């Protein structure tokens, strides 16, 4: 017999976007089930720069310092240098504080700088581990790697989805009020809905493209799609789920 699990929000995808959303929902005691077919968080490095605004979200959630303690050694320079070749002539250098110096440096910033945090260099593969660890501390959050979203349907009063463990076994029927497609650029959820992923044909937009994430929220009779920075997307979904504008 198929097992049935009820949740408020089903999140498809355990990358930064899905994990951040699980943290936001969990902190408000909203039940959510996150599924991802990978055995765990990302193995490949991908992002290595966490922007100031994202660091501010981590600060609000209370673990910015833990993120800042990961990555390069605390006294390692994070300068950006332009060279003719790897060991060639240095043409220019942007001096940037070390991770250890960043909390003091931010206090001395003035002028047009408005963020409460400085950017930080750390590989996404380490950030995801921290986001997962934080999410799993929250009692209303259920994180299941090794599980794939196979299908879903809008029942009129909610979403009914089928989740399957990648190593086989009985499929799980999930009944939820919302389904969030945080399953990346090749999103299964987006494709099932017949939505195209728009890439703005403009040089600067294309450069910005890889740093953004697509996300789809489904609730009965309504589909909302966004594209933006992962932490900002989590806030958008949260506003919809909690009815906040």
Ligand X SMILES: Cc1cc2nc3c(=O)[nH]c(=O)nc-3n(C[C@H](O)[C@H](O)[C@H](O)COP(=O)(O)OP(=O)(O)OC[C@H]3O[C@@H](n4cnc5c(N)ncnc54)[C@H](O)[C@@H]3O)c2cc1C
Stretch that binds ligand X, among 14-22, 66-74, 131-139, 217-225 (CB under 6 A): 14-22
Binding residues for ligand X restricted to 197-236, rule: CB under 6 A? 210-213, 230
- Cβ 178 to ligand X, closest distance in Å? 15
Rounded to the nearest angstrom, the gap between the alpha carbon of residue 51 and the centroid of all alpha carbons in its chain is: 13
| Helices 16-27, 52-61: crossing angle, 10 deg rounding | 30
Q: Is 17 in the site for ligand X (CB under 6 A)?
A: yes
CB 190 within 8 A of CB 227: no
Candidates 25, 32, 35, 238: give the one binding ligand X (CB under 6 A).
35
Q: Is 48 in the site for ligand X (CB under 6 A)?
A: yes
Distance, in Å, from the CA atom of 214 to the CA atom of 123, rounded to the nearest integer, reads 20
- Token pair listed for 90: 């240095």
Residue with Cβ nearer ligand X (173 or 212): 212
Which among 240, 226, 157, 219 is positioned nearest to 187, based on CA atoms?
Answer: 226
Q: Is 237 in the site for ligand X (CB under 6 A)?
A: no
Candidates 3, 28, 40, 49: give the one binding ligand X (CB under 6 A).
49
Residue with Cβ nearer ligand X (18 or 71): 18
Q: Is 46 in the site for ligand X (CB under 6 A)?
A: yes
Which among 218, 231, 174 is positioned nearest to 15, based on CA atoms?
Answer: 231
Q: Is 16 in the site for ligand X (CB under 6 A)?
A: yes
Residue with Cβ nearer ligand X (20 or 102): 20
Residue with Cβ nearer ligand X (16 or 26): 16
Beta bridge partners of 142: 33
Give the C-alpha distances (Å, rounded to integers) separating 22 from 115, 185, 192. Answer: 24, 19, 23
Binding residues for ligand X restricted to 68-107, rule: CB under 6 A? none
| Helices 16-27, 230-242: crossing angle, 10 deg rounding | 40
End-to-end, the C-alpha distance of the chain in Å comes to 41
Q: Is 149 in the site for ligand X (CB under 6 A)?
A: yes
Binding site for ligand X (CB under 6 A): 12-18, 35-38, 46-49, 124, 148-149, 182-184, 188, 210-213, 230
């Amino acid at each position: 017999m198929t097992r049935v699990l009820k949740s408020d929000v089903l999140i498809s995808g355990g990358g930064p976007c899905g994990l951040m959303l699980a943290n936001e929902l969990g902190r408000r005691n909203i039940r959510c089930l996150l599924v991802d077919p990978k055995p765990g968080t990302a193995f490949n490095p991908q992002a290595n720069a966490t922007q100031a605004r994202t660091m501010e979200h981590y600060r609000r959630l209370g673990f910015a310092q833990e993120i800042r303690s990961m990555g390069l050694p605390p006294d390692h320079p994070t300068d950006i240098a332009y060279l003719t070749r790897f060991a060639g002539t240095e043409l220019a250098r942007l001096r940037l504080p070390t991770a250890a110096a960043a909390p003091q440096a931010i206090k001395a910033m003035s002028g047009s700088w408005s963020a409460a945090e400085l950017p930080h260099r750390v590989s996404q593969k380490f950030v995801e581990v921290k986001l997962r660890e934080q999410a799993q501390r929250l009692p209303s959050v259920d994180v299941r790697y090794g599980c794939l979203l196979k299908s879903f349907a809008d029942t009129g009063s909610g979403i009914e989805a089928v989740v399957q463990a990648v190593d086989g076994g009985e499929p799980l029927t999930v009944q939820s009020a919302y389904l969030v497609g945080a399953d990346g650029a090749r999103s299964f959820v987006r494709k099932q809905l017949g939505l195209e992923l728009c890439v703005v044909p403009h040089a600067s937009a294309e450069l910005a493209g890889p740093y953004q994430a697509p996300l789809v929220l489904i609730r009965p009779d309504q589909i909302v799609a966004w594209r933006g920075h992962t932490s900002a997307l989590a806030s958008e979904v949260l506003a919809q789920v909690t009815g906040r504008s």
